[in-house]
Amino acid sequence: MTDLYATQRAMRNMRKAAMQRGVIAILDVGTSKTACLVLRFDGPEKFTGEDGVGSLAGQSSFRVIGAATTRSRGVRFGEIDAMNETERAIRTAVQAAQKMANQRVDHVIVGFSGARIRSYGLAGSIDLQDSVVREQDVARVLAACDVPDYGDGRGVLHAQPVNFALDHRSGLSDPRGQIGNRLSVDMHLLTVEDSAIHNLLRCIKRCDLEVAGLASSAYTAGVSTLVEDEQELGAACIDLGGGTTGLSIFMKKHMIYADSVRLGGEHVTADISKGLQVPMAVAERIKTFHGGVFATGVDDRDMIEIGGDTGDWEHDRRTVSRAELIGIMRPRVEEILEEVRLRLDAAGFEHLPCQQIVLTGGGSQIPGLDGLASRILGNSVRLGRPLRVQGLPQAATGAAFSAAVGLSLFAAHPQDEWWDFEIPAERYPARSLKRAVKWFKDNW
Amino acid sequence: MRPLRAKRPARRLRRDPAPSRLSYRLHRLWLTPLIRRMLRIGLPILLVGVSAGYYLSDETRREAIQAWLVEQRQAFEARPEFMVKLMAIDGASTELATDIREVVPLDFPLSSFDMDLEAIQKTVSALDAVASATVRIRSGGVLQVSVVERIPAVVWRGREDIELLDETGHRVASVIARAIRPDLPLITGDGAETAVPEALNILAAAKPINNRIRGLVRMGERRWDLVLDRNQRILLPEENPVAALERVLTLDKTQDMLSRDLVVVDMRNQMRPTLRLAKTAMQDLREIRTREERIDNQ
């Protein structure tokens, strides 16, 4: 675990270096597309707002100067399947984005959807030595969290303190300097499969890029699509991606739960391909042009040319009605939403004060999806598009880019994570000079 | 019969849009600001520098370039708008004009680039008869020399020759004989030419006896003698010669002194003006006195 923290700290330093240089790239490696955005930061981050977030929700400090997408290859369920192919896709996207930005980028923040994310709620508490909460006390209470056994071959991706409580007062966002006897913390821990991360990191290293941060796209999609009051009062963001469907629950501006369903738009395409006996590319095209989930009477007469190039006239002239297409698509979409429902139930979503559900991702563009989703998931469902970011091309403002846009917000204003806090003095090895310095600092 | 070969699509789509690793790296290298600046500015400068250096490394080429440059320069200087065709002299008498033409030997037409106007101005100013000179090239290709001439004020008879001097004592010209300029007063004696302003003051004061003045003689390089006709001399003091002369003139006016048979009026000692009579004057005086006494006695 300390090993992973070391890499996370190294990434934070890398991010700092990138901020100084002013240019950072965002790479969203998805199952169906790889997107790269190049961000330019205008000077150091300044906290201008009086309280809460500043103007434009703090997004005015950066600007998108390059954007490119390409079809992902060698990625299945958001995990790397064929590394060379993925590397090529990343190279294509990065090169095109660099060309548009006319600037070289060396630091990249990576988002990915797969790797079987699993979230844990942690709690820890300590008695304060003196009655005032200091930085060291925060570090100690974070260290006092009892980490669950999340299994071999898994690593921590996000570890965010969600809530601090001091004696009987809960819901503190920053306990430092306050007076109390017992400090406790709730933390949200997100673990992923190590091997998937390592593959991804290796892939990016082979593109001569330095990783300045890692984030789960379930989380970043929520960051970019949920508006402020939804994040505050509680909402779930469902990112219907190509290979996986990410799901993240936000409350009090913190992610409190995230999960992913290993089903996505590509399964719908595969169903169409199998059902109509057409290639995947044609199936994808039919899905995007004619797809839907609610059949009406007129759909029986809406005939879709399927095409084909076998040379057999009968085979090449096949048509299918839109109702049939919907009949193929709907069960799969329903299955995905049912799965999401199960995960939400498992997370205790129904206990939240506000149960807003936001659908985003490329899959959310299926016509009529919101109606179907409200039947399965609950009443308050809306379709979400990512926040508007300065300089983002029109083509990249759609729902499919919510994870990428969220990543750029994440790059600009990362959430405080465990590794951003001080290391408790006890954690330093004994006889270490640092520990001595720390002891002096704390006691004088 | 239909051709068996299938018709090929006009342009085959590239299967792999991904850049090769080499082209990716080259692109990144190209986007590196330092490399980019070096290639875009440094490399052309280097290329031009190297090629120019190589071209100039040959002696004959360098000479050719030099010759070409000289030729271009000459062609430019020889353009008609820069040619000076004649010299115009203003404010000079004809003799002075010929003198100026003599000392400034230019054969027109001549390019204005080949003329050293300052040198010409110096040469012209160096002429004795010239008080000041300005030289410029007027439009229309005329070298304009404007001269202010020195006006001779006195004739100075030196040990060797006779010269005309202006009021400051600067030489204007030589003359063969004093009679050439009878209108100017004559001064002589060693060091007379250095005290011309004083001499002119004395001469101005001596206006009432102007018709009798022969000249001024500098004595011992310190004081003046005013020489009148009938070999009369007025010896003026070193200091305040004009005041002394005015005293003499007053005496002359009241007692008609200078018309008497005097040889020298010595004013050198202010307290004691002295007269020297002519040799025979005393005898004449005595004779006159005895004759008068005889008449009285009769």
List the single best residue of B23, B24, B26, B37 to mutate versus A (max A Cβ within 10 A): B24
pLDDT above 90 covers what percent of chain B? 11
Mean pLDDT within A130-153: 84
Give the pLDDT band (50/70/90) at residue A177. confident
Mean pLDDT within B50-62: 92
Nearest residue in chain A measured CA to CA from B31: A104
B16 vs A88, A95, A98: nearest CB: A88
What gap in Å lies between CA A387 and CA A406, rounded to an integer? 8
Mean pLDDT within B47-67: 93
pLDDT of residue A269 exceeding 90? yes
What gap in Å lies between CA A65 and CA A68, rounded to an integer? 10
pLDDT above 70 covers what percent of chain A? 93
> Which CATH class for the B188-289 domain?
alpha beta
**CATH at A153:** 3.30.1490
pLDDT of residue B277 exceeding 60? yes
Mean pLDDT of chain A: 86
Contact B171, B139 (CB under 8 A): no
Q: What is the pLDDT of residue B1?
A: 62
Give the pLDDT band (50/70/90) at residue A63. confident
Q: What is the pLDDT of residue A430?
A: 62
Nearest residue in chain B measured CA to CA from A103: B31
Range of weakest confidence among A57-66, A159-168, A354-363, A433-442: A57-66
Does A442 map to a domain?
A: no
Measured CA to CA in angstroms, residue B220 lies from A323, A413, B186, B192 at distances of 144, 109, 17, 10
Does A25 map to a domain?
A: no
Q: What is the pLDDT of residue B273?
A: 83
- Taking contacts as CB-CB distances below 8 angstroms, the residues of chain B near A104 are 28, 31-33
Give the pLDDT band (50/70/90) at residue A172. confident
Q: Last residue of some domain: A331, A366, A382?
A: A331
Contact B151, B101 (CB under 8 A): no
pLDDT of residue A118 exceeding 80? yes
Q: What is the pLDDT of residue A338?
A: 93
What gap in Å lies between CA A128 and CA A213, rounded to an integer? 33
pLDDT of residue A45 exceeding 60? no
pLDDT of residue A133 exceeding 90? no
ipTM above 0.90, yes or no: no
The reply to whether omega before B109 is within 30° of 0 (cis) is yes
Q: Last residue of some domain: A287, A313, A331?
A: A331
pLDDT of residue B284 exceeding 50? yes
Q: What is the pLDDT of residue A56?
A: 45
- Taking contacts as CB-CB distances below 8 angstroms, the residues of chain B near A207 are 24
Nearest to A424 by CA among A433, A435, A437, A414: A435
A92 vs B17, B25, B28: nearest CB: B17
Contact A68, A100 (CB under 8 A): yes
pLDDT of residue B278 exceeding 70? yes
pLDDT of residue B199 exceeding 70? yes
Does A165 map to a domain?
A: yes
Does A408 map to a domain?
A: no
Mean pLDDT within B183-200: 86
What gap in Å lies between CA A195 and CA A206, rounded to an integer? 16
Q: What is the pLDDT of residue B195?
A: 85
Chain B residues with CB within 8 Å of chain A CB: 16-19, 21, 24-25, 27-28, 31-33
A104 vs B16, B21, B28: nearest CB: B28
Mean pLDDT within B258-285: 84
Give the pLDDT band (50/70/90) at residue A4. low
Nearest to A120 by CA among A256, A219, A302: A256
- Give the tens place of pLDDT for each residue, B256-265: 888 888 888 8
Mean pLDDT within A242-267: 91
Mean pLDDT within A401-429: 79
Give the pLDDT band (50/70/90) at residue A60. low
pLDDT of residue A437 exceeding 60? yes
Mean pLDDT within A182-198: 89
Instruction: Return phi, psi of residue B234, to 5°.
Output: -110, 115
Cβ <8 Å between A89 and B18: yes
Mean pLDDT within B162-189: 85
- Taking contacts as CB-CB distances below 8 angstroms, the residues of chain A near B31 are 98, 102-104
Q: What is the pLDDT of residue B15?
A: 66
Choose between B108 and A120: higher pLDDT: A120
Does A145 map to a domain?
A: yes
What gap in Å lies between CA A6 and CA A307, rounded to an integer? 55
Per-residue DSSP letters for B197-240?
HHHHHHHHHTGGGGGGEEEEEEETTTEEEEEESTT-EEE--SS-
Count how many domains chain A has: 2
Does A386 map to a domain?
A: no
Q: Last residue of some domain: A331, A349, A376?
A: A331
Cβ <8 Å between A91 and B21: yes
What gap in Å lies between CA A417 and CA A15, rounded to an integer? 14
Mean pLDDT of chain B: 85
First to last CA, chain B: 187
**A400 token code pair:** 């499919």
Q: What is the pLDDT of residue B55?
A: 92
- Give the tens place of pLDDT for each residue, A195-225: 888 889 899 999 889 888 889 999 999 999 9
Query: How many CA atoms, within 13 angstroms, populate the side-chain half-sphere of residue B42?
Result: 7
pLDDT of residue B125 exceeding 50? yes
CATH second-level architecture of B80-149?
Roll (3.10)
Domain boundaries, chain B: 80-149, 188-289
Cβ <8 Å between B19 and A92: yes
Q: What is the pLDDT of residue A55?
A: 44
Nearest residue in chain A measured CA to CA from B30: A104
State the smallest CA–CA distance between residue B17 and chain A in angstroms: 7
What gap in Å lies between CA A134 and CA B222, rounded to an integer? 109
Give the pLDDT band (50/70/90) at residue A328. very high
Nearest to B256 by CA among B209, B215, B205, B288: B209
Single-letter code of the amino acid located at A390:
Q
Q: What is the pLDDT of residue A54?
A: 47
Q: What is the pLDDT of residue A58?
A: 47
Helices and strands in chain B, H and E counts:
9, 14
Domain that holds residue A187: 118-191
Mean pLDDT within A313-331: 91
Cβ <8 Å between B27 and A70: no
Mean pLDDT within B129-148: 85
Nearest to A161 by CA among A180, A175, A150: A175
Range of weakest confidence among A1-5, A202-206, A306-310: A1-5
pLDDT of residue A50 exceeding 60? no
Per-residue DSSP letters for B71-139?
HHHHHHHTSGGGEE-EEEEES--HHHHHHHHHHS---SSEEGGG--HHHHHHHHHHSTTEEEEEEEEET
- Taking contacts as CB-CB distances below 8 angstroms, the residues of chain A near B21 are 91
What gap in Å lies between CA A73 and CA A70, rounded to an integer? 9
Cβ <8 Å between A98 and B27: yes
CA atoms B89, B91, B95, B96: torsion sign: negative
Q: What is the pLDDT of residue A61?
A: 76
pLDDT of residue A48 exceeding 80? no
Does A284 map to a domain?
A: yes
Q: What is the pLDDT of residue A429?
A: 65
State the smallest CA–CA distance between residue B7 and chain A in angstroms: 15
Nearest residue in chain B measured CA to CA from A208: B25
**A251 token code pair:** 């409350």
Give the pLDDT band (50/70/90) at residue B171. confident
Return the SS3 of A189. Answer: strand
Neighbouring residues of A438: CB distance < 8 A, sequence distance ≥ 6: A425, A428
Most confident residue range from A361-365, A433-437, B1-5: A361-365
What gap in Å lies between CA A352 and CA A234, rounded to an integer? 6
